[in-house]
Structures are given as C-alpha cells and as structure tokens.
Structure 1
Amino acid sequence: MTHRLIGALAVAALLGTTAYQASAGDGGRAGAGTVGQGIDHDRMVNADAHPGQWASYSRTWDEQRYSPLDQINDGNAQDLGLAWYDDLETYRGVQASPLVIDGVLYNETIFNVVTAYDARTGRKLWTYDPGVGKEWAGLACCGPSSRGIAAWGDSIIIGALDGRLIAIDRHSGKEIWSAQTFDRKDQYSITGAPRVYDGKVIIGNGGADYGSRGFVVAYDAATGKRLWKFYIVPTDPAKGPDGEASDSAMRIAQPTWHGKFWEAGGGGNAWDSFAYDPKLNLVYIGTGNGSPHMWHFRSEGKGDNLFLCSIVAVDATTGAYKWHYQMVPEEDWDYTCTQPMVLADMKIKGRTRQVIMQAPKNGFFYVLDRGTGQLISAKSYVSVNTWASHVDMKTGRPAVLPTAHNTTTPHLMNPSWMAAHTWHPMSYSPKTGLVYLSAQEQAAIYARAEDGQYRYVKGRNNTGQDHASQPELRKALMKEVLASEKGYLLAWDPVKQREAWRVSYPLPGSGGVLTTAGNILVQGTINRTLAIYRADNGLKLWEMNIDQAPVAGAITYMVDGEQYIAINAGWGGSPVYNLNRDGPFRFATAKLMVFKLGAKGVTLPPMPPATQDAYLPRERIPADVAARGATLYGESCNRCHGDNATGGIKDLRKMNKEAHDSFLDIVLRGTRLHNGMPSFEGVLTEAQAKDIHGYLITRAQEDW
C-alpha cells in the first residue's frame, strides 16, 4: 500500500483539530449537535437538524439532493461571488460531490486522491493518495474519475478505481483499513460513490462493457470486514449456488437467460446509484447493461435477462432479495438503470405514497412503491423515443417498438447508449414537488454484427455491434444524428407525470443539480458556466463564466453562519457530437470552486493559449484498413471519443501533427497517462493501432 500525506502529519492533525473546534459546523445554530462527534445513524436520519453539513453523496439517504438552507435564495443569488478555489491540475473529468463535516470540506479528484480543506478559507489540511495505478483508467469506460466519497464515524471511505475500499481518519488522513472488493485480474473498476447505511459500506462496480458479472457488496465501516454480497445476474448453472445473499434471487433470474451467457459475464454492474430507507431497512440498487450489449449474442435473443436494467431492493442487514422492477427486459441497447434514484413521500390520487423515482437512460420517468416495487406510473420525459411507445400499466412492461431490436442493418436509436439522462445527479424539492434533471436527446447508430463475427476479447468494449457495415447508409443516418442532438434542464412533476418547465441549452452535457429551501436550483452548464435558477419556474437568477462545464452536482453547506455553494468543475464523460461544431471546445483545468454571498477579490486565472492547430494528413488509407480500424475504434475508443469519431473528450479528427506522429506511443505505450489516456498495450496490437489511426485519418479527410 502506498500513500502520501502532504505536510507534516502532526501539524496537519493539529490544524484539522483547530478547524473543527473553531467552526460551528451548522453555523452555530441551535440544535446543531456536538461538533466533532462523527457521523452515525442518528445524525443521518436527523440530517435536517444539522443543515450546515453535507455528510453523504446526496446529503441524505433518500438521495433528494435538497438542502433546507435558505440564506442564499431567489432574492439575493445575484450577489454570489467566488470565495475560494483549488486548481485540481487535470483536464480530465472530475465528477465527485464533496462532503462537509464540522467545518471541513473533503474532496476527491481523479485516481481517488482525497484532500481535506478548511471549508471557510480553502486552506489545505491534508491530502491522501491511494496510489492507484494509471493503467486502471483503461478499465473505466469514461476515465479515472470517481463520483464521491463516504463518511462514517471519524472515517472517510474511498471506493478506489482498482477495487479497494479504503477507510482513512478524517482528522489526519491516515489509513485505517483497506479491503479488496474484486479480483484485480477480472474486468472491474469502481467509479461510483460508496454509501454507508447504519455502519455498512455499500459499493458496486463497473465493467459490463469489458465482460464481467456485476455484484454489490457490503462491508463493516469500522473494521472492513465483508458482510454480504449480492450478484446481479446468474452464472453457469453447472456451478450451483454461489453461497451468497443473492442465491434466492438467482433462482428467479436463471430461467430468463439462454445460451452460454456467462462466458462474457452477463453484466448488470451497479456502477453508480443507490438509495436507502432506514424504516424499511431496504437498500435500493440500480443495475446496469448487459455483457455483451447485443441481446442476440448475450442470450440467443431470448429471455428478459434479469436483473439487467432494474431496481432491486435488498435487506440492508443481510443482503437478502426483497423485490425487483425491470425497466428494460431483453436489454439490447446498452441502457442502464444506474441513474440516480430518489425517495420521497407524496400524495398521488388522494393517497400518500412512499415512492422511489428514477429517470434512467431509456427516456421514461418511473414512480414505484418503494415498499413493494409496484409500478405507480411511467411516462416518457423526452420528445423522441424510438425504443418503446409506452409502459403497460397492467403488466409493468414496456411496449417495445417492432423496429427497436437490433439487426445487421444499421438503424437509429434515440435514446441511445448516451442516455436521455445519465449519471448526473438529479434533485427533488419537497418545497415545489418537482424533480430536476439534466436531460438530452442523442441518437446513435446501432447494428449487430453478423453471426460468427463477434467474439469476446478481454479488455475491449464488448458490444457485439458492427461499426463499419453499409457506410453510405451510416453517413445518411449520421446527418440525422447531428441535426437532432439537444440538451436541456428539465423540471418534472412526478405526480402528474409531465414537464413543468425546461431550460434549453445549445448542446447536451450540462451537469447535476442541487435545490434548496431558498427556491434556487444550481447547475453547471455546457456553456462553461455555473448557473442558478428559480426552482419554481426556471427563471435564471445568476450565472458566472468559469471556463469549465461542470458535470458533477453542486453541494451547499454552512459554517459560522455563512452559507456556501461548492462544486467540482471538470468537463468529461459522455461524448457530445456537435461539441466542436463552432470551433474547438476549450476549457481550463478542473477546479474545486466555492461561492458565497458578497465574496469579492478572488478571480480565476486565464486559460492557457490554444495548442497546435489540427493537422490533416494527405496519405490515402486503403478501404480495408479503414474498415478494420472502424470496428476496432468502436470496440476500444468510442466511449470517450464518440461514435464515428464525432464529439468526445478529444475530437480525434482534429489531432495536431505531434499527436499523429506519436499516435502509437500514445495508444500502446501510455505516453499521455498523465492526462488520463490509458495504454492499450495487451489489448491492441501495433497493427490494430495502425488500423485505428488509418480510420481516424479517413474520418478527418471525410469531414474536414
């Protein structure tokens, strides 16, 4: 185990203690509780008695991402200013939600490096680096970022990219315990935020795209001892029961699978979303897509494939199965139901219902009874849905359109794998009764490979798709994709199942949201700004250019009677096709930014000058090379760089000459690991990397 503590530990610990003692963590309010007492069940259940804290990913276990603080409100939000910031010194996406406990802000950046700050001033107290190998970025579909950390007692808990759960002392940053949650030889990673429910750390994993069998595991927060494990999909029935908490659920799931599905894992990985009801003692798991993506290859085109793209409820103490609801039976489109789930009590048809709500990739907003899993309502929240016409309220099943399932003929799907709503946090305001989320409409071209053309390759994105057939048809479809792309902030009425209002953006990609009792909604936007809107009607109250498009959700907290808003601003994640339509989409290094009313004198540094211009090679690429490269690109590159080499973190059609000249070193030898670009050595041969380069040159020549 390697770790680094910045500064002298004794001094850091002393500074940390001073910060805790000096800061009334809830602004000195009555009922704030004893400062420094640590996070426990009572403190989480009664979180509104400690309104200045933000001690879990979405503040509360119901994941509402709503704060009762109202010092910053719809009458004074225009007076916000930047109080302090920290440059995170990366251009990769930074997706974490910070925590604030007793006047100290804890933040996580790429490769799971955690820093503690004085929440008032930004003074660093300590930094912990778990030493995650840079090669692990290659097993995370969207980069080496994490969505957050957890807290329990006096520990901060990290779900590291390489599968470790690590508990560190929140006062000093010293490691307390570490547990490995999966075999490092398998195709897993952790990018989601761990949760702690009554002393049990809950964590899932990613890896369905690369071939794995998803599971969720619980550990004792005090000792790191494993408590239970729940598999999401079954495995080879010849092996018999797993001997885990999920055994009874696997007996339900097994008959819904066909063929040798276990050879590529099956998928279902719970890579992000959880919620918890302490009264029902239920943990809710949002599950992922299939492995491989194409149902035809995964399960011979037969069966619902439980528990892919579902909400599964399990007993928090034992992990035992309680109920499930599957949003996407026959999952064939890389849809996931790992998007945020929110718990609330609301009156529906004259009756108060305990509900769980979700707006997953497939474009439908679901309201379920969280005690039983009964479907209460489901309506599409996007204007185009080529997957299903509606959800049948008698059966709970989607009415899948006859053109939706994939054949060998390329066709458009909208929503696509890029999602009508992705992992970006959503919020529910009990004050307005509305749910808020970042919505988008991004079609994609789908076609399954011909029989005999797909084979599982360890370490690649195993879609089972064909990425190169019928190029002229694909060009025509791509024009439709580019013309129809849109993004917007959506306010949704979950009782009436209809849109309340929206704010349109020029492109998809705006980030997660926060709402408060001050009738404000906070969102980082694709316009490279932080914006605040009225939560009741969407009127813009304030906006600041920050040279970044934050995808993370903002948080808010109070120290010494002053309310702050904090956000990690670091663009990265799902591609945007038209991102570079009007010129290069430039952004500054990622930063942790903290705002308060009346703050003045703190300014962001200017962005560095633009790098070299795009270079267009003139060499003619043989058609067979470009075709092979298109397939390999679709299996290894499109998650970050976009379908058809369009959009993405870097537009690879517009590489500069240096990138072209050093392409093999970048791809195979990891010369840009420091920027988060992993090495594909062992996954791609040199000949295959050359084919991908040839394909990218062809795409550049076609478009530019």
Structure 2
Amino acid sequence: MRFGIVAVLAASLALTGCAKSDNAASGGVTEAMITSPPDGEWLTYGRDYGEQRYSPLDKINLDNVKDLGLAWSADLDTARGQEGTPLMIGGKLYITTAWSKVKAYDGKTGKLLWEYDPKVPGETGVKACCDVVNRGLGAWGDKLFLGTLDGRLIALDRETGKEVWSQVTVDQTKAYTITGAPRVVKGKVIIGNGGAEYGVRGYVSAYDADSGKQLWRFYTVPGAPEEAKDEPEYLAKARKTWNGEFWKLGGGGTVWDSMAYDPELDLLYIGVGNGSPWNQSYRSPGGGDNLYLSSIVAIRPDTGEYVWHYQETPGETWDFTATQHIMLATLKIDGKERKVLMQAPKNGFFYVIDRETGKLISAKNYVPQNWTTGVDMKTGRPIEVPEARYDKTGKPFVSTPGAGGAHSWHPMAFSPKEGLVYIPVIEAAFPYFPEANWKPNTKRGFNVGIDQAAGGMPADLAARNGARAATKGALVAWDPVAQKERWRVPYQGPWNGGLLSTAGGLLFQGTAAGNFVAYDAKDGKQLWSFAAQTGVVAPPMTYMIDGEQYVAVLAGWGGIWPLAPGGVLNEVAGPVPNISRLLVFKLGGKATLPPAPPLSRMPLDPPPFTGDKAKLASALYNYGRYCGQCHGDAAVGSTVLPDLRRSALLGDADGWASVVHDGALQDNGMVSFAGTLSRQEIEGIRQYVIMRANEDKKLGGPGT
C-alpha cells in the first residue's frame, strides 16, 4: 500500500532527522512549519494540519521501549478532567489544564517557566455539559491562543505568558462554552464552541492572530426568520430542511472539537455537533434533515465561504455528533491515490470521504450497532430501523451505540507504515425515553427532550452488573481501505485515552484503569506500561530536545463519562481517583511518583428517608434533568465531583438548601438553582438522594 506525499516526506524526515535542528521553530510559528513540523516539535493539536497524530521520531522504538522511564512530572492545581495535548516549541512545553489555565515548562528539565490563569468564573461550570476541561492551544508567530470555558479567545505572548489580547466569542448570557483547541490557518485563529445541550446556536469564527479582530463567522444552522433575507445561500438551503420554530430552541450544531486543514486544497474541515434539543419532534416537528447538524463541512479559511458538506446522521435525534477527530490522508483505493478525510463519529460508522468533493467513498460500522441496517452507498444516508426513531414512535429505544458514542472526543492516530487508524472505542447502549409535554429551560439543566431519569440504573445488583458487563472499551486497529478491523485490545470499561503513533513502530495510550501503555502498532502487543495512579483520558504527544526523544501525556480522570454514568458503570475495577499531573518519559528515565494517596471516601451512611414517597417520581425527574450530568446517573456519584450520597449535608435540610438554592458554593461551580427549582423541589431532590443512598447501602456492590 502506498500513501501520499506528506506521509512519504514524514517517513524520510525520520531517517534524516540529523539534517534539521531539533528546535527549528524557536522563532515564529508559520504555516510551513505546521504543514511539515520541524523535527521533534509539536506545533498544533494533532501535530500537523492533517491531524494524523503520527510522529516521525523513532529514537524510542520497538527494541528499546522497555527502557522507558519517567523523566519528570508536574502536579497540577486543577483536580478535574485533563484532556489537553501539550505543544512543544523551541524546547518548551506548553499545556492547558482544566478551568482553561496555561502552563509553560522547560521540556528537558520540567522547570515551570510561567503560568496563566484566565480566572474563569466558577459558576461557568454549570454551563459545561462534560466537565470543565480544555484540550489545548493554538500557536502562530510568537503567540499562543487559548479558548476559555466562558467563551473567550485569548492570545498570550509565548515567551512570557502575558496576555496580548482577549475577545469574547459568545453571548455569555447563554450556556456557551469552549473546551476545544483553536487551530490557526493563514494567520487566522479558528474557534468553535459548545452548549448544544443547553439551547444554543452553533458556529465557528475566525480572528486575526495579530489584532484579535473578528474576520468571519460561519453559522451551522439557520437563525430566526428575520435573518433569512440576508443569509448566505448555504443557510438558505439549510432552512428548507428545518420545521417549526426551531430557532427559539437554539438548534444546536456546535463545533466544539474537531477541525483539520488541507493547505493544497485550501479547505478547512469542521465537525458539526448534535441538535438542540436532541429529540427532533420538539426541535423540528415533522422531521427534515436539519442541515448542517451531524455533518462535516468544508469551508474557505480566508472568508468562511461554504464549499461542501457531508451529513452523517440526517435528522439527528440521538446526540450523534460529527465532532469527533477528523483526519486527513492519501490512500490507495481501487488502484488510485485518493485524498481522503476519515472520521469515526459517535454513530458507530467509520467514514472515508473524498476531501476535494465531499463524496462518500465508504462507510462501515466499527462497533456493533442497532439503529440502522447500514449506509446506502448511493445516497450516503444511513438506513434507519423504524423503532430507532423514538421521536416519531413516542416509544423508548435502547440504542447501540448511545449518546456517549462509539467514539467520543479522544483522538485517533494513524500509522502510514501499517496503513491503520487506531480508534479508542466505546461499546455502550443508551436508553432514549421520549418525554411527553417537554418544556425547555435554557437557564439550567440539560435541554434534550428526553426523560433522563427514566433510563437510570435500578437498585438491582444483577441489573447493574449486567450493564457493567455490557459496557466495554477497546483499542481497535482499523484498516480504512478494506474497512475492516485488524486487531483489538479489549478493556474492562470505556473512556480510555487518545492515541499517538510513531515511526518507532509504537502506539501509546492511557487507560481508564490508570495505566499509560505502549503497544506494537502492527499487532497490538503490549510492550510497556506505567502506573499513572489515575485515569488517563488525554492523548499523548512526543518531542525531541538535544537528540533525546520524550513522550508526554496529561493524566487526570474526568470528562462526561466519569461524571454522568458515575460509579454505576465505571467502578468495574474499583473507583478511579483524580490525580492531575503532567507526565514526561524518556529512555532511562529514573524519576518516580510519590506513593499514590488512598482514595478517601465518606462512608455510605445516610440519614433515614423522611420524604413523601408520592413525590419521588417528580424528584427523580428533577434530579435527572438538573443534577445527573455532574453528580451521576441515579445519584451514584463519581470520584471527580462530590458523591451526593456521601454528602455531609445530606442530613441537613438547611445546609443543602444553602448550596442548591442559595448558591453558597457558586465559586466552586455549584451555582444556585433558585430560578429553576423551588425550595420544595430542592428538598425533594435531597430526599430522593437519601432514598437512593439507603437503597445502595442495602444493595452493596461497587460504589458503596
């Protein structure tokens, strides 16, 4: 199998690395550098514009990876999910952490050089569907670019960490957030946003890297009717695919993570998210494709001009986003070199798309799925099974994959040597219970149009154990030409880390169980492992300084899976703590971590239930809609945020109300729900949690 010129150049550079300086990008970062990064440097989220996460470095390889050891580590001050990819420029390592903080280190010694805190207000945390995470920085010239959780885009001086400019990119009165890494193309900083669970309208924007001036904005869904007379043709086309007063509910379509760029074609590719609300019967009564939800869209980076789109899930109603990792490559298909775009989105199908035209080349499911019988290759549309349309039938549907996706944000990697794409796979179902007479509340809580409590785990040990057994993770090596799985590494549970592939024949990944592992990229054989003391969900990267190769990864358990499903499905092998650190490895590294602290958990010793059993149904509903996304399904909490069953306030009605109603812990992200829930409803939630805690104490098993 032959691959494209970029892959060939990357391989040749790996063999001739001594001809180039390790730190060639110590000056200003340019398009040429990001297109073909100087040896040893990592200049953008996916290493280069093609986002392959393949490094030509091979000093660490199949023969010597057994000698890999910790070179240095740095403890972080944000004990929440760590999802960032470090950048390495000019011998310095730059990271983002939870709460949108930035730190710079000497890449060789680990010395902290500077740090920056944008001081995101704690109350912003309630707007984030999936933890207060941040996935990384953009770089251009002598600046770094940061998207903050509260919707700002900030330019920092790369040498000092001082703020150069700051722009608010969203309406901060609405539940917009930014968790994704900016990309910089031709001096334009490209940034999207999140919030589709909370009733917002998605878009992506470009800002001048020097001045911060907004240059263009590309909306992914149409706006209110009065905007129709001035909207561009692509939005006029989209408007015909929507029904009802969708704009009043936001519409969704947020571009919260993935982007890629092809300098030759001058096309920027963006992945568009789910509908708001999920349930299409409320969002767009009567159906319709609802462009450009769940689509990959190609646009011109200079102007934001629409070029083409491919919609993976027309009429999206399952939270099947197309925001997962987009990767570019040149593959030989049917005897011809094809410039392709590859994606393994939430809906369970691996797509290979012609990136010049947007034409579908192939699509096959990479996990078991039950919502279709396949993809129609003539139309490019999924062939849905009728019962999957819970929005039309009004009946519950348990979908595989579910809203968590067959693959979430965790980046894939590609090996040009092996011709394989490596996917961090999730195998988990999700119950969609359509909610009758649903009403939006865009101030607080998920606005998805389904009953989030109805499908919660029952207080039945056999049912929970069955759900745990059916909920799995895997590292899957996928042949994108043959559309076949070549090998897999099974994991006990989901939410394992992003991936790094290297010319040394290695594949690196962190796991939910708390290990950082090196595999043989050819067959998946485990070659080395390091106990990280915490779940590792972030993707690794690698760099070189003074001829020595390093591998770096952020460790820290968090994100939506640890929070929302919580202990019910996660504690297969025991609870996973959050110990947030930056870990850096090299051959012969001798550093060690301090002993892992014991996981301190309050005993499960709740007060007796004294509430009104007749009101438990409404309390359960309120918990599911307003509390579950942070404090766990059926009140089985995580180890990242407080497990409410163990709360010291559970037996103190006034103390509970001071937090939930009055906002006593607002600065920590626990805002007041006074405008959403009455005191009586808040007391009902407390009684529900007491009831659940007593059930679980009696039940026993994991999480208790």
Q: TM-score, normalised by structure 1?
A: 0.91
Shift of 1:335: 1.4
| Per-residue deviation, residues 280-309 of structure 1 (Å, max 9, x unmatched) | 111111000111110011101410111010
Give percent identity, aligned residues only.
Answer: 47
Query: For the structure 1 residues 100 and 690, does the alpha-carbon distance in structure 2 shift closer, same or farther, using more than 3 Å as the test?
Result: same
Paired position in structure 2 for 1:354: 339
State the AA in 1 paired with 2:217: K
5 Å-filtered alignment, 1:190-201, equals 190-201=178-189
Report 1:283-362 matches (<5 A).
Answer: 283-362=268-347
Q: 1:394 aligns with which of 363, 378, 384?
A: 378
Greater shift, 424-433 or 676-685, is seen at 676-685
* 1:498-577 alignment runs, 5 A limit: 498-575=484-561, 577=565
Determine the structure 1 residue equivalent to 2:685. Answer: 692
Match of 2:621 in 1: 631
1:75 is matched with 63
Write the distance in 2 (CA, Å) between the matches of 1:259 and 1:658.
44
In the other structure, the counterpart of 1:10 is: none
Deviation of 1:588 after TM superposition, in Å, equals: 4.4
**Which of 429, 437, 440 in structure 1 is aligned with 2:423?**
437
> Which residue number corresponds to residue 37 of structure 1?
27
Aligned partners of 2:56 and 2:502 also within 8 Å: yes
Closer/same/farther in 2, CA of residues 656 and 236 from structure 1, 3 Å limit: closer
Q: Which residue of 2 aligns with 1:65?
A: 53
One-letter amino acid of the structure 2 residue matched with residue 130 of structure 1: P
Tell me the CA shift for residue 606 of structure 1: 2.4
Structure 1 distance, partners of 2:220, 2:574, is: 41
**Long gaps (5+) in structure 1:** 1-25
Task: Name the SS for the 2:388 alignment partner.
Answer: coil
CA distance in 1, matches of 2:454, 2:649: 31
Deviation of 1:242 after TM superposition, in Å, equals 5.1
Mapping of residues 595-634 of structure 1, within 5 Å: 595-608=585-598, 610-634=600-624
State the partner residue of 1:655.
646
Q: Match of 1:344, as an amino acid?
A: A
CA drift at 1:665: 4.1
Find out whether 1:105 has 2:105 as its counterpart: no
1:219-238 mapped onto 2 (5 Å cutoff): 219-238=207-226
Correspondence 1:108-127 to 2 at 5 A: 108-127=96-115
The structural deviation recorded for 1:238 is 3.1
Distance 1:571 1:122, change over 3 A: same
Structure 1 residue 455 corresponds to structure 2 residue 410: no
Identify if the C-alpha distance between structure 1 residues 603 and 260 changes in structure 2 by more than 3 Å, giving closer, same or farther.
same
Residues in 2 aligned to 1:675 and 1:122: alpha-carbon distance in whole angstroms: 29
- Bigger Cα displacement from structure 2, 365-374 vs 645-654: 645-654
One-letter amino acid of the structure 1 residue matched with residue 691 of structure 2: T
Tell me, in whole angstroms, the C-alpha distance in 2 between the residues paired with 1:695 and 1:386.
Answer: 34
Post-superposition shift, 1:180? 1.2
The residue that corresponds to 2:7 in the other structure is none
Distance 1:56 1:206, change over 3 A: same
- CA distance change for structure 1 residues 104 and 83 in 2, over 3 Å: closer, same or farther? same
Letter of the structure 2 residue corresponding to residue 418 of structure 1: G
Once structures 1 and 2 are overlaid, which stretch shifts more, 610-619 or 109-118? Answer: 610-619
Letter in 2 for 1:278: P
In structure 2, the gaps of 5 or more residues are 1-15, 700-704
CA contact (8 A) 2:415 2:502 kept: yes
Decide whether aligned partners of structure 1 residues 622 and 281 sit closer, same or farther in structure 2, where only a CA change above 3 A counts: same
Amino acid at match of 2:646: M
Cα distance in 2 for partners of 1:193, 1:298 equals 29
Sort the Cα spacing of 1:696 and 1:69 in 2 relative to 1 into closer, same or farther, 3 A.
same
Contact 1:143 1:676 in 2 (8 A): no
* Alignment partners' CA distance in 2, 1:394 and 1:473: 43
Pair 1:676–1:104, CA change in 2 (3 A): farther
Aligned residue in 2 for 1:370 = 355
SS in 1 for 2:561: coil
Give the C-alpha shift of residue 642 in structure 1: 3.8
Q: Give the Cα–Cα distance (whole angstroms) in 1 for the partners of residues 572 and 385 of structure 2.
A: 36
Shift of 1:611: 3.0
Corresponding residue number in structure 1 for 2:11: none
Q: Deviations over 1:400-436 (max 9, x none)?
A: 1111011443331111111110000111111111001
Number of equivalenced pairs: 672
- Listed one character per residue, the Cα deviations across residues 103-152 of structure 1 (whole Å, up to 9, x for unaligned) are 00011112211111100011011111112111111111112111111110
Q: Residue 278 of structure 2 contacts residue 318 of structure 2 at CA under 8 Å; is this kept in 1? A: yes
SS in 2 for 1:297: helix
Given that 2:420 and 2:478 are in contact with CA atoms closer than 8 Å, whether structure 1 keeps it comes out as yes
Instruction: Report how far residue 669 of structure 1 moved.
Output: 4.8
Change (3 A) 1:650 1:626: farther
Please report the RMSD computed on the Cα atoms of aligned residues, expressed in angstroms: 2.4
Conserved 8 A contact 1:445-1:477: no
Q: Does 1:382 align with 2:367?
A: yes
Contact 1:412 1:477 survives alignment (8 Å): no
Matches within 5 A, 1:93-172: 93-172=81-160
Task: Compute the displacement of 1:659 (Å).
Answer: 5.5
Q: 1:14: which partner in 2?
A: none
Contact conserved, 1:444 with 1:643, CA < 8 A, in 2? no
Higher mean Cα deviation, 615-624 or 626-635?
615-624
Q: 1:477 to 1:369 in 2, by over 3 A?
A: farther
Q: In the alignment, is the contact (CA less than 8 A) between 1:363 and 1:415 conserved in 2?
A: yes
The answer (yes or no) to whether the contact 1:112–1:130 under 8 Å persists in 2 is yes
2:389 aligned residue: 405
Q: Which moved more, 1:400-409 or 1:543-552?
A: 400-409
Following TM superposition, by how much is the alpha carbon of 1:616 offset from its aligned partner in structure 2, in angstroms?
3.0
1:264 matched to 2:264? The reply is no
Residue pair 2:156, 2:162 contacting (<8 A) in 1 also:
yes
* 2:702 paired residue number: none
1:19 aligned partner: none
Amino acid at match of 1:564: Y
Determine the C-alpha separation between the residues in 1 that align with 2:572 and 2:275.
36
Q: Which residue of structure 2 lines up, in the alignment, with residue 6 of structure 1? A: none
Secondary structure (helix, strand or coil) at the match of 1:240 reads helix
Is the 8 Å Cα contact of residues 457 and 633 (structure 2) preserved in structure 1? no
Match of 2:9 in 1: none
Contact 1:146 1:193 in 2 (8 A): yes
CA contact (8 A) 1:387 1:413 kept: yes
CA distance in 2, matches of 1:676, 1:547: 26
Q: CA deviation at 1:35?
A: 5.2
Q: CA deviation at 1:43?
A: 1.2
CA shift in 2, pair 1:494/1:580, >3 Å: closer
Range moving further from structure 2, 692-701 or 534-543 = 692-701
| Deviates most, 232-241 or 571-580 | 571-580
Deviations 1:474-499 (A, max 9, x none): 98987764441111111111001010
Change (3 A) 1:135 1:147: same
How far apart, in 2, do the equivalents of 1:471 and 1:72 lie? 46
For residues 376-420 of structure 1, give each alpha carbon's deviation from its aligned partner in whole angstroms, at most 9, with x where no partner exists.
00000112x121120000010000111101144333111111111
Render the CA deviation track for 1:569-625: whole Å, top value 9, x for unaligned. Answer: 011113265545457514242001111110114333421452321223321543343
One-letter identity of the residue aligned with 2:122: K
Cα distance change of structure 1 residues 270 and 477 upon mapping to structure 2, 3 Å threshold: farther
Q: Is the 8 A contact 1:645 1:651 kept in 2?
A: no
Q: 1:216 to 1:294 in 2, by over 3 A?
A: same
Aligned counterparts of 2:267 and 2:60: Cα–Cα separation in 1: 34
Cα distance in structure 1, aligned partners of 2:314 and 2:398: 20
Shift of 1:684: 3.6
Which residue number corresponds to residue 590 of structure 1? 580
Distance 1:365 1:488 in 2: 15
Query: Is the 8 Å Cα contact of residues 21 and 39 (structure 2) preserved in structure 1?
Result: no
State the distance in 2 between where 1:380 and 1:276 align. 25
